[in-house]
């Protein structure tokens, strides 16, 4: 059963905003989360704007992944993500990080960007 | 030549001798001419025993101080029969005679001597050149130390299966070696340093031997699978006077490029049956296409089967504007495939399996059980034992040893014969699904590119699209890999011609990018002045920034964009992975992996080497003007560097 959970967790995190669910997250300090995002190296794989990168990690900006799953992925990552145990990142730190990535700026509509317009 | 014979006359006779031998290169190999026995001097008395002993004990001071022709001149004649346009080198005394012969006797034409500032550049630019020009160029490296410098470049070229002619020099016999430096630069077996990763090497013992080995080396370098060849030019052979009598006995063998290997017809027929019978076939193209013809044939094959193509981008294999180019959903396609055709795979095992990089490494299959695997490849024709570039073994259902590009036309014909005359409904339905899937790729890429559009440091997607806006009206070529920038050019730019892209390094030896770009840009210049663009990481650029000087010196225009994330970022992630795994905190991860404090001024570096430097660009809104200026300067014939401060990937 555990492998199935791991795979699901990975898939859901990768899918990001497509899997909407939250509400059970503890209160987090988004400002501290922003500091942690750089300090513990989230940006290295997911980008400084949480946009994700093809070979390193999926988009996590404004994730709609539930906090429990987010925390599970940190502690027991599916696939290639390095594990973040409590010694490296406490549950409260995780909550702060979650608060930060949840409130990252909304992406722009590509059709509002001249270089990305569909007919461009 | 007699003492009284004018030098000019002698030169004519020497050239005549070479022309005779050279003429044989376009006809049949000429037999080695028998040397006439030396006539005894009738006026001389035989030396006495005392005289002989005296000569041995007190060597006479040599009074012949000059000569007008040497073995190195003949070596140049040999190289001129090959299709070599350039010889790249960082100078070294072990090939000093050859260098002088190339630039004077050979008039510095075909090959033209190119000055590099490191042997890795000389070899690496030949690597990039060959992938664009479709033929080898030459590099020559100093004995021992130069070979050591060249080693990583050779390894990349070997792993990438690219033909290069590499020469080196070596001091002669010990009784003619000057004490000191010449000993340090002498070696018993110079190729041993690189033998594990060259296709062939030789240390010719005579000029005739040099001629045969060099021509043989060229043919071997070009035969599929291609690879670098390493020839040692002994300094004694280079520098010794070449007497007329000896010249007349020398011949240069005819250069013939062998027809490439093709797969066994029976196996090809079985492969065709398997592919036509499959419900979900997938074609994976890796180090496959070496010309536009290869791309065109792959399109024909894919259309015939209406099968998706996953382009691994080791070469420019499949136009990404074609609806059957489905690299964007490779994982899903491979997971669903019931038959996979792999063309020149680099790592078929890794294509079909994934290994977790965790404390305990576990493997899981990406493909479903029972999937049929067909492989067409020349990889088994060039496997050495020591270096492990051959990857893990996969037992394919049909394993065809043969050049995939040469074999594809016969596979296409075999498939045509297998498809029922009335067509195949399931094939047509597959095509419709592929079109639907393809139509979503661009929208998804645009949406993802928008995510960090206004970010600073600048996102890789923004950089690529700003560059594209300035580049799209040119005849352009991308001479760098895109793995470290999320494959944006393959997702956002139309890559529809073979020369648009050259794949990656082969061996992941960092330092390949700036040097291969230099060589590729040279080939694009010679092809009519295409605008060559290289996106180079800052860590990688710092391995060979002086490529810009070589470019400025030799008039090789191209645009280098520094993807400046101020780190060896792959290693940042590796060290962090270890710190996470060991639960030791992440604070110290930047030690040894970041390139900041102070930040490097790449613009000054470029200007110092005689190139145009623009930047650093931190505001994405400044990219447009920077690239506009940069491309204008490239079109004016200059090498240009634009420093862009960017996101990690």
Give A27-56 pLDDT, tens digit per residue. 899 999 999 999 999 999 999 999 999 889
Q: Which residues contact B416 (CB under 8 A, 6 or more apart)?
A: B304
Place B585 in a pLDDT band, splitting at 50, 70 and 90.
confident
| pLDDT over 70 (residue A58) | yes
Q: CATH number of A2-104: 1.10.10.10, 3.40.50.1100, 3.40.190.10, 1.10.760.10?
A: 1.10.760.10
Of A87, A92, A90, A65, the residue nearest A78 (C-alpha): A65
Residue B616: is the preceding peptide bond cis (ω within 30°)? Answer: yes
- Whether A110 and B455 lie within 8 Å, measured CB to CB: no
| pLDDT over 50 (residue B17) | no
pLDDT of B420 reads: 87
Three-class DSSP labels, B82-96: CCCCEEEECCCHHHH
Q: Which residue of A has its CA nearest to B465?
A: A115
pLDDT of B28 reads: 36
Contact map slice: B 338-377 vs A, CB within 8 A: 354, 356-358
Q: Which ipTM value was assigned to this complex?
A: 0.84
- Whether B447 and A49 lie within 8 Å, measured CB to CB: no
- Whether B580 and A88 lie within 8 Å, measured CB to CB: yes
Alpha helices in A1-120 (DSSP H): 2-15, 30-39, 42-46, 67-75, 91-102
Per the model's pLDDT, the better-predicted residue between B425 and B560 turns out to be B560
pLDDT of B116 reads: 98
| pLDDT over 80 (residue B27) | no
Contact map slice: B 109-138 vs A, CB within 8 A: none
- Whether A47 and B648 lie within 8 Å, measured CB to CB: yes
| pLDDT over 70 (residue B61) | no
Report the alpha-carbon distance of residue B321 to residue B428 in Å, rounded.
20
Residue B225: is the preceding peptide bond cis (ω within 30°)? Answer: yes
pLDDT of A9 reads: 39
Question: For chain A, what are the domain ranges?
Answer: 2-104
Among B364, B576, B580, B628, the residue to mutate for chain A (most A Cβ within 10 A) = B580
**CB proximity B421 to A under 8 Å:** no
| Phi and psi torsions of B614, nearest 5° | -130, 135
> Mean per-residue pLDDT for B156-172?
97
> Mean per-residue pLDDT for B326-333?
96
Chain A residues inside the 8 Å CB shell of B452: 47-49, 51
Chain A residues inside the 8 Å CB shell of B454: 108
**Contact call for residues B58 and B191 (beta carbons, < 8 A):** no
pLDDT of A120 reads: 54
Pick from A21-25, B503-507, B639-643: least confident? A21-25
Of A96, A3, A106, the residue nearest A50 (C-alpha): A106
Between the alpha carbon of residue B114 and those of residues B87, B130, B512, the distances in Å are 6, 15, 18
Report the alpha-carbon distance of residue B302 to residue B304 in Å, rounded.
5
Give B210-230 pLDDT, tens digit per residue. 999 999 999 999 999 999 999
- Whether B453 and A45 lie within 8 Å, measured CB to CB: no
Pairing of strands B200-202, B228-234: parallel
Give B292-322 pLDDT, tens digit per residue. 999 999 999 999 999 999 999 999 999 999 9
- Whether A88 and B484 lie within 8 Å, measured CB to CB: no
Q: Which residue of B has its CA nearest to A88?
A: B585
Give B590-621 pLDDT, tens digit per residue. 999 999 999 999 999 999 999 999 999 999 99
| pLDDT over 50 (residue B360) | yes
Among A81, A93, A110, A117, the residue to mutate for chain B (most B Cβ within 10 A) = A110
| pLDDT over 50 (residue B42) | no
**DSSP bridge partners of B501:** B478
> Mean per-residue pLDDT for B409-426?
91
In order of their start, the domains of chain B are 7-29+68-248 (3.40.50.970), 265-441 (3.40.50.1220), 451-645 (3.40.50.970)
CA atoms within 13 Å, Cβ hemisphere of B601 = 5
Q: Which residue of A has its CA nearest to B354?
A: A79
Chain B residues inside the 8 Å CB shell of A85: 580, 583
Q: Give me the numbers of helices (H) and strands (E) for chain A, helices first please.
A: 5, 0
């Amino acid at each position: 059963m555990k492998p199935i959970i791991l795979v699901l967790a990975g898939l859901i995190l990768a899918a990001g905003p497509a899997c909407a669910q939250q509400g059970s997250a503890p209160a987090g300090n988004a400002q501290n989360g922003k500091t942690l995002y750089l300090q513990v190296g989230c940006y290295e794989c997911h980008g400084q704007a949480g946009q994700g990168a093809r070979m390193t990690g999926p988009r996590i900006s404004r994730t709609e992944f539930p906090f429990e799953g987010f925390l599970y992925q940190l502690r027991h990552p599916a696939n290639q993500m390095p594990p973040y145990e409590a010694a490296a990142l406490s549950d409260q730190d995780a909550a702060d990080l979650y608060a930060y990535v949840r409130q990252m700026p909304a992406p722009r509509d590509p059709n509002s960007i001249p270089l990305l317009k569909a007919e461009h | 030549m007699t003492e009284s014979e004018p030098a000019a006359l002698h030169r004519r006779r020497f050239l005549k001798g070479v022309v005779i031998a050279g003429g044989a290169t376009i006809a049949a190999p000429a037999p080695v001419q028998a040397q006439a026995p030396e006539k005894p001097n009738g006026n001389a008395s035989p030396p006495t025993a005392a005289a002989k002993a005296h000569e041995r004990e007190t060597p006479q001071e040599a009074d012949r101080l000059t000569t007008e022709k040497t073995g190195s001149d003949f070596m140049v004649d040999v190289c001129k029969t090959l299709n070599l346009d350039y010889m790249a080198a960082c100078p070294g005394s072990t090939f000093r005679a050859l260098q002088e012969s190339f630039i004077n006797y050979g008039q510095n034409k075909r090959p033209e001597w190119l000055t590099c500032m490191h042997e890795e550049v000389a070899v690496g630019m030949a690597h990039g050149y060959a992938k664009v020009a479709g033929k080898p160029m030459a590099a020559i490296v100093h004995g021992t130390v130069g070979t050591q410098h060249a080693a990583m470049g050779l390894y990349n070229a070997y792993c990438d299966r690219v033909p290069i002619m590499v020469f080196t020099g070596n001091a002669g016999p010990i009784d003619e070696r000057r004490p000191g430096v010449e000993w340090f630069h002498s070696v018993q077996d110079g190729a041993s340093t690189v033998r594990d990763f060259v296709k062939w090497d030789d240390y010719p013992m005579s000029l005739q031997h040099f001629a045969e080995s060099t021509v043989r080396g060229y043919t071997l370098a070009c035969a599929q699978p291609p690879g670098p060849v390493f020839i040692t030019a002994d300094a004694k052979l280079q520098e010794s006077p070449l007497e007329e009598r000896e010249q007349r006995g020398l011949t240069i063998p005819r250069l013939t490029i062998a027809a490439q290997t093709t797969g066994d017809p029976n196996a090809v027929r079985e492969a065709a049956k398997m592919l036509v019978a499959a419900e979900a076939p997938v074609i994976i193209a890796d180090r496959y296409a070496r010309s536009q013809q290869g791309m065109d044939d792959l399109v024909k094959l894919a259309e015939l089967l209406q099968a998706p193509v996953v382009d691994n981008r080791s070469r420019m294999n499949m136009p990404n504007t074609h609806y059957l180019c489905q690299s964007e959903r490779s994982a899903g396609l491979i997971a669903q495939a019931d038959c996979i055709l792999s063309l020149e795979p680099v790592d078929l095992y890794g294509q079909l399996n994934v290994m977790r990089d965790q404390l305990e490494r576990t493997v899981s299959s990406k493909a479903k059980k029972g999937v049929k695997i067909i492989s067409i490849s020349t990889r088994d024709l060039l496997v050495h034992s020591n270096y492990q570039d051959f990857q893990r073994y996969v037992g394919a259902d049909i394993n065809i040893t043969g050049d995939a590009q040469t074999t594809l036309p016969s596979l296409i014909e075999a498939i045509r014969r297998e498809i029922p005359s009335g067509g195949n409904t399931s094939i047509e339905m597959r095509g419709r699904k592929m079109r639907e899937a393809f139509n979503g790729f661009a929208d998804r890429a645009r949406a993802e590119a928008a995510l960090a559009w206004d970010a600073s440091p600048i996102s890789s997607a923004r950089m690529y699209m700003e560059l594209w806006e300035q580049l799209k009206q040119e005849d352009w070529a991308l001479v760098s890999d895109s793995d470290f920038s999320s494959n944006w050019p393959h997702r956002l730019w139309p890559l529809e011609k073979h020369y648009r892209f050259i794949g990656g390094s082969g061996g992941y030896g960092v330092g390949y990018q700036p040097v291969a770009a230099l060589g590729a840009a040279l080939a694009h210049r010679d092809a009519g002045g295409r605008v060559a663009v290289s996106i180079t990481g800052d860590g990688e650029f710092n391995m060979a920034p002086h490529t810009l000087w070589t470019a400025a010196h030799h008039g090789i225009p191209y645009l280098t964009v520094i993807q400046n994330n101020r780190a060896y970022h792959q290693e940042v992630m590796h060290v962090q992975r270890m710190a996470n795994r060991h639960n030791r905190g992440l604070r110290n991860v930047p030690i040894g992996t970041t390139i900041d404090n102070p930040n490097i001024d790449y613009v000054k570096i470029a200007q110092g080497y005689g190139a145009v430097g623009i930047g650093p660009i931190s505001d994405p809104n400044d990219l447009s003007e920077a690239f506009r200026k940069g491309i204008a300067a490239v079109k004016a014939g200059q090498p240009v560097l634009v420093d862009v401060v960017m996101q990690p990937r």
